[in-house]
Amino acid sequence: MRKLWLIFLFAIMLIPLRIATVSAADVTNINWVTRIDAPVPFVRMVLSLSEPVKATASIDKSGQTTTITMENSNIRGAQQTVYMDRTIASKATLTQTGKNVQLKINTPSSIEPKDIKVFTLKNDLKNNRPYRLVVDIQKKGVAPRTTYYGSKPATAPKTTTNTTPAQPYSISGGLKGKTIVIDPGHGGSDSGAVGSTGLMEKNVTLPIAMYLKKDLEEQGAKVLMTRTTDVDVYGPYASGVDELQARSDVANNNHADIFISVHINSFNSPNAIGIATYYYDKTAYDTRLATDIQNQIAGEPGFGGSRGIQFGNLYVLRHTTMPAVLVELGFISNPTEESLMRQPSVQQDFARRITQGVLNYFNK
């Protein structure tokens, strides 16, 4: 993320953004998504660019119109009007004003500079990604949540099995020969949550996942990892979706029987504690897997006990085709749990407990 400078100018806020532009940039595409995987939901807009741009952002006096000006740019292919999430940012309009392109964003509530984040992503030649300008706008008037993975819809999500008549994963018969994909959360340019002593989530999830790999292999399972070192899975500074799809692909392409994503929780108060397992019941077995694992990990000594299994509208749970869970092994924002989770003996015990949960699942 690039650093932003704030300049206050009457009631108008300007945010000048980075570096010189060599040649005119084409704005070739605009995408948006509502993201709920944060304490406060936000709309993310991603503009594809042929070159890096210099951009400034300003919010008008009413707070309901934000204008991002991209200097020395041309609209070339991007849709000019986009209707988005009516509760956060209702509409985005691209207009050519001389040599510049303006992106006007209408918000139903009055927003302030702290509600908006503008940053650029470099192009990624290896993965054929263009330069991108990213605009995040947070929802107004909602309190940050400890569990922010969405609530369970009134009707269960549709299964995705209608194109695959035979169930492609196995659910019984012990662990021997089963294919398990372990996803150590975050990595590389993405540290995940950071504790008060500076401990990074990515550096806790990886050793736990490596211990888990060893334990599961000892039980006869074939284990694949989405990463085994401190790297991004898709590529540095990829969009969140690319990164999470790359992790899901490891499981889908290898016909895994189950998928386990390892994470550590965090909240903006040090008081939140405990252990949770998230599921998205796209198959008939996601909740069973979540229950079997949660029953084991929740008993880890010294931690705040069970927060239960919880429905999670999470990308890796939704986009994997086999039963999948995402475990949140305590809160890095709680000093007691943070000091425990950095200990190899505790990390090993989490791995042992997850393995027991997986054994119980396959032994039904």
List active site positions: 328
The least distance separating Zn ion from the CB of residue 266, rounded to whole angstroms, comes to 8
> Out of 41, 52, 184, 185, which residue is the one contacting Zn ion (CB under 5 A)?
185
Q: Which is nearer to Zn ion, 278 or 311 (CB)?
A: 278
192 is a site residue for Zn ion (CB under 5 A): yes
The least distance separating Zn ion from the CB of residue 236, rounded to whole angstroms, comes to 17
The least distance separating Zn ion from the CB of residue 196, rounded to whole angstroms, comes to 17
Q: Which is nearer to Zn ion, 108 or 240 (CB)?
A: 240
| Interface pattern 28-57 for Zn ion (x via CB under 5 A) | ------------------------------
330 is a site residue for Zn ion (CB under 5 A): no
130 is a site residue for Zn ion (CB under 5 A): no
Q: Residue 311 and residue 282: Cα distance in Å, rounded?
A: 11
224 residue type, one letter: L
Say how many residues touch Zn ion, by CB under 5 A. Answer: 3
Q: Residue 107 and residue 61: Cα distance in Å, rounded?
A: 13
Is 356 exposed, middle or buried (CB count within 10 Å of its CB: 0-12, 13-18, 19+)?
middle
Interaction residues for Zn ion, span 253-282 (CB under 5 A): 263
Name the residue with the smallest CB distance to Zn ion.
263
Q: Which is nearer to Zn ion, 128 or 268 (CB)?
A: 268
Q: Residue 48 and residue 109: Cα distance in Å, rounded?
A: 27
Q: Which is nearer to Zn ion, 41 or 185 (CB)?
A: 185
Tell me if 63 sits within 8 A of 84, measured CB to CB.
no
From the list 240, 238, 257, 264, the residue with the least C-alpha distance to 184 is: 264
231 residue type, one letter: V
312 is a site residue for Zn ion (CB under 5 A): no
Is 146 exposed, middle or buried (CB count within 10 Å of its CB: 0-12, 13-18, 19+)?
middle
Pairing of strands 179-184, 131-138: unpaired
Q: Which residues bind Zn ion (CB under 5 A)?
A: 185, 192, 263
